[in-house]
């Protein structure tokens, strides 16, 4: 019986591999709009798709980032300045895209722009700290999507939203996780609604990767800033020992992040170019072997894991 089961799984895997290898035709005629192209995943994806001959419309936050990207790519790639937290910037970028795609519509929209700080224990944060993360990672993504959807629908194209492995299972520093849980919910609803129009929606769930989003300097600075702004009562309850332990733990986690960003951008490229893209892509071994399985565990088991991994700071309270 086990032999039949292994054979069945092997056959399913082979058929899935063959199916996913089919590539969309006329890629050189298709436009893809990517947010957050100053650095990291967005920057690498823009260069990757440009090398493949696609017409990349790269949105950067700064002119410096846009210029550096143009210097590394062909004349096909075009850049625009975009701040996803500002409605007027999104409206202007949408008009800019319309002028370039014309009646063909927009084949691909990649919502990649995001930030990871402020990051720290919930009780150290205030409403404005949460709002800062949500404005970029969730509300900005939603507004960009709503603005670009008519163009994507015209092309019967793709929407690729960058979530995170911690959008499945949350741990300390949950402001980022909260935003990514929202990305997951929005993407699921969007996928079901747009399937009627032939539009496909994919979610990218990276594990921990070294990008400008996650750096030791940024994480350390955020934790120290939140500690400084915390009330005297919070500081008394948590204590200096907890703060230092939390700081060491988070900075050491940054050191373990993968530097191979192609694990993520290859997933994005597949979602944009395959005839049969996946609904979700888990990028990185930590996403596949830790976060994804943990999201299916009973709550008491996942809670026990996080309690065990943070037992030392908990004992400091």
Question: CB of 82 within 8 A of CB of 99?
Answer: no
Report how far residue 225's alpha carbon sits from residue 53's, in angstroms, rounded to the nearest whole number: 44
Catalytic residue among 4, 176, 181, 245: 176
Beta strand ranges found along the chain (DSSP E): 31-34, 55-60, 78-81, 108-111, 158-162, 200-206, 280-283
**φ, ψ at 207 (rounded to 5°):** -80, -140
The C-alpha torsion from 184 through 177 and 110 to 211, rounded to 10°, is -150
Specify whether 176 is catalytic: yes
Task: Please state the φ and ψ torsions of residue 200, each to the nearest 5 degrees.
Answer: -105, 140
Q: Which helix (H) or strand (E) covers residue 279, if one does?
A: none
Residue 163 is encoded by which pair of tokens?
């979530």
Residues marked as catalytic: 176
């Amino acid at each position: 019986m086990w032999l039949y089961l292994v054979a069945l799984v092997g056959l399913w895997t082979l058929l899935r591999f063959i199916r996913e290898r089919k590539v969309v035709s006329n890629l050189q005629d298709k436009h893809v709009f990517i947010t957050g192209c100053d650095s990291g995943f967005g920057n690498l994806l823009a260069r990757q798709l440009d090398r493949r001959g696609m017409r990349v419309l790269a949105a950067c936050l700064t002119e410096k980032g846009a210029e550096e990207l143009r210097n590394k790519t062909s004349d096909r790639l075009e850049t625009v300045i975009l701040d996803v937290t500002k409605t007027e910037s999104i409206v202007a970028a949408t008009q800019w895209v319309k002028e370039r795609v014309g009646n063909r519509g927009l084949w691909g929209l990649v919502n990649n722009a995001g930030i990871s700080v402020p990051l720290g224990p919930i009780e150290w944060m205030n409403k404005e700290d949460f709002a800062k993360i949500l404005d970029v990672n969730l509300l900005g993504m939603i507004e960009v999507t709503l603005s670009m959807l008519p163009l994507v629908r015209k092309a019967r194209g793709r929407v690729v939203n960058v979530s995170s492995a911690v959008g499945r299972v949350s741990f300390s520093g949950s402001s980022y996780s909260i935003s990514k849980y929202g990305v997951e919910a929005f993407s699921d609803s969007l996928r079901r609604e747009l399937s009627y129009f032939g539009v496909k929606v994919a979610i990218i769930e990276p594990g921990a990767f070294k990008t400008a989003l996650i750096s030791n300097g940024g994480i350390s600075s955020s934790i120290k800033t939140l500690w400084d702004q915390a009330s005297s009562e919070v500081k008394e309850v948590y204590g200096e020992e907890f703060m230092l332990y939390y700081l060491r733990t988070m900075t050491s986690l940054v050191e373990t992040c993968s530097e191979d960003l192609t694990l993520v951008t290859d997933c994005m490229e597949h979602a944009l170019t395959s005839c049969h893209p996946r609904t979700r892509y888990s990028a990185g071994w930590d996403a596949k072997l830790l976060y994804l399985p943990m999201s299916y565990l009973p709550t008491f088991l996942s809670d026990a894991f996080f309690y065990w991994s943070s037992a030392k700071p908990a004992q400091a309270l």
